[in-house]
Every structure is written in structure tokens, then in C-alpha cells.
């Protein structure tokens, strides 16, 4: 069992709850569930969310990949789909219905694992380092190895894997992870990068390649940090060149 501070033990799953990834979420359902998990931690005073707040969270321009433009009707349909798997809750608050998530109970996961799934649902495949930075407002993981421990548990879950480690991209220092709630990865994501030994390199290029790899990792980390800061300030970062 992964060890990290502030571990929340979920209650027993409600009767009829989905067990493992025996179901597949579509793009709208994935976005809605990810937003509900995120906003529970980042804006607890306004959680559960109204439909308007949920639509706005789904259509954010920052900290989202891909960027979507979902209508009220599409979000309502996604809520219905998630409700069929007991993944959302509904309550009345004031003059509007409010919506929350039930992912921890349905999937029987600690809060840290649910948070990592949310980041993957909202941002797409991420390295463990990127996940640690992107999840900072929801949970402060002690280090990258702590993130990796929870990812390993999700990948080896007896009831069915919820994440998978993707082959390393050429020149990348870390492998990326993706969630499996929307189905298995596409074939192009599973193609392994050619090994360094298999690529013909001119003499003396090894040190240069190592330096490029280090810089790419630093850029990815800084980009994730910039996205987080922009999200906190409510501004849209410049697109990467």
C-alpha cells in the first residue's frame, strides 16, 4: 500500500456501484467527472457544483487537454451517464441542483489516487513529475516516488487496472501515464520509442542528447507549473511554440 500523509479511507461502495473499469466513459463524461473531483478540493466552499459552475469548469481554457466547448445539454447528458455508474450525486441547494462525485466510494480508492486520476482525466497523459505539480492544489505529494507508488497501485489494482504506463517518448526522461476510464490507449501511444542503441548517432553526440533530454524535462515541469499559476490567476497561458 502506498504511504503518504493525509490518506482518506473511503466508505464502502454503495449497492450496485461499478466495480473496476468494466465500463467506459466518453469524452464529456470523463471531463465532467474530472472537474467534479478537482473542484471538490480547489473550491470546497462552492462544492457540490451547480450546472453553470460545472459547465464553466468543463470549458476552462487552462489546465485542460483537450480544450472542450460543452453545452449545458451535453453536460446534463454526461451527468446521466455517470449516474448510471453511481459516479455522481445530486442534491438540492437553494434554487439550483448541485452535483458531486462518488468516485472514491465506487472505485474504492484513497483520495490521493482519485486526485491523480482527475489530473489525468483533465490534462491527458502526464509523467509522475508533472502529476505531482499539477495536483499540488488538491494534495501535496511528498515526492515523485510517492506519486509513482500510487500510480503503481492503480496499475496493479486487483479489480482492474485504472492507469497504464506508456512507452517513453524519444528523448524523454520519464514515461507518461494515462487513465483507463475512457478505454485502452490508442495504438500510436503504445508504440515504444526506439532505444538509443538502435539509433545511429554521430560520435560525440551522446552528451548533447543527454543535455537536450534534461532540458526537455525541465521545460515540461516549468510548463506544468505555469499552467497551475495561470489557473489560479484565471488567465490563459500563451500556447507552446
Report the topology of domain 27-104: Arc Repressor Mutant, subunit A (1.10.10)
Q: DSSP secondary-structure letter at 69?
A: -
State the pLDDT at residue 94.
Answer: 74
Check if the beta carbon of residue 116 is closer than 8 Å to that of residue 131: yes
Mean pLDDT across 16-35: 79
- The share of the chain scoring above pLDDT 70, in percent, equals 78
Mean of pLDDT over the chain: 84
In terms of Cα–Cα distance, which of 234, 37, 239 is closest to 122? 37
Cell, residue 38: 478537482
* CATH 1.10.10.10 assigned to 108-233: yes
Task: Report the SS3 class of residue 135.
Answer: coil
Answer with the residue of higher pLDDT: 4 or 226: 226
| Burial of residue 147 (number of CB atoms within 10 Å: 0-12, 13-18, 19+) | buried
**Structural domain boundaries in the chain:** 27-104, 108-233
pLDDT band at 175 (very low <50, low <70, confident <90, very high): very high
State the pLDDT at residue 232.
Answer: 73
Domains 27-104 and 108-233 share a fold: yes
Buried b (16+ CB within 10 A) or exposed e, 21-39: beeebeebbbbbbbbbbbb
Answer with the residue of higher pLDDT: 16 or 128: 128
For the question of whether the overall pTM of this predicted structure is more than 0.85, the answer is no
pLDDT band at 37 (very low <50, low <70, confident <90, very high): very high
Q: Is the pLDDT of residue 206 over 60?
A: no
State the pLDDT at residue 170.
Answer: 87
Amino acid at each position: 500500500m502506498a504511504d503518504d500523509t493525509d490518506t482518506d479511507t473511503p466508505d464502502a461502495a454503495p449497492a450496485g456501484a461499478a466495480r473496476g473499469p468494466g465500463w467506459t466513459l466518453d469524452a464529456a463524461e470523463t471531463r465532467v467527472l474530472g472537474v467534479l473531483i478537482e473542484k471538490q478540493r480547489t473550491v470546497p466552499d462552492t462544492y457540490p457544483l451547480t450546472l453553470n459552475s460545472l459547465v464553466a469548469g468543463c470549458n476552462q481554457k487552462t489546465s485542460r487537454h483537450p480544450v472542450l466547448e460543452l453545452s449545458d445539454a451535453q453536460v446534463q447528458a454526461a451527468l446521466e451517464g455517470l449516474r448510471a455508474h453511481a459516479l455522481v450525486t445530486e442534491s438540492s441547494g437553494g434554487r439550483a441542483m448541485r452535483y458531486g462525485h462518488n468516485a472514491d466510494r465506487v472505485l474504492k480508492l484513497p483520495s490521493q489516487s482519485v486526485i491523480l486520476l482527475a489530473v489525468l482525466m483533465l490534462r491527458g497523459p502526464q509523467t509522475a513529475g508533472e502529476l505531482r505539480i499539477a495536483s499540488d492544489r488538491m494534495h501535496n505529494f511528498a515526492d515523485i516516488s510517492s506519486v509513482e507508488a500510487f500510480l503503481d497501485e492503480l496499475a496493479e489494482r486487483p479489480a482492474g487496472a485504472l492507469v497504464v504506463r506508456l512507452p517513453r517518448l524519444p528523448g524523454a526522461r520519464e514515461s507518461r501515464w494515462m487513465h483507463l476510464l475512457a478505454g485502452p490507449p490508442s495504438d500510436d501511444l503504445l508504440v515504444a520509442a526506439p532505444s538509443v542503441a538502435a539509433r545511429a548517432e554521430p560520435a560525440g553526440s551522446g552528451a548533447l542528447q543527454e543535455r537536450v533530454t534534461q532540458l526537455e524535462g525541465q521545460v515540461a515541469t516549468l510548463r506544468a507549473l505555469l499552467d497551475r499559476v495561470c489557473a489560479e490567476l484565471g488567465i490563459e497561458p500563451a500556447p507552446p511554440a
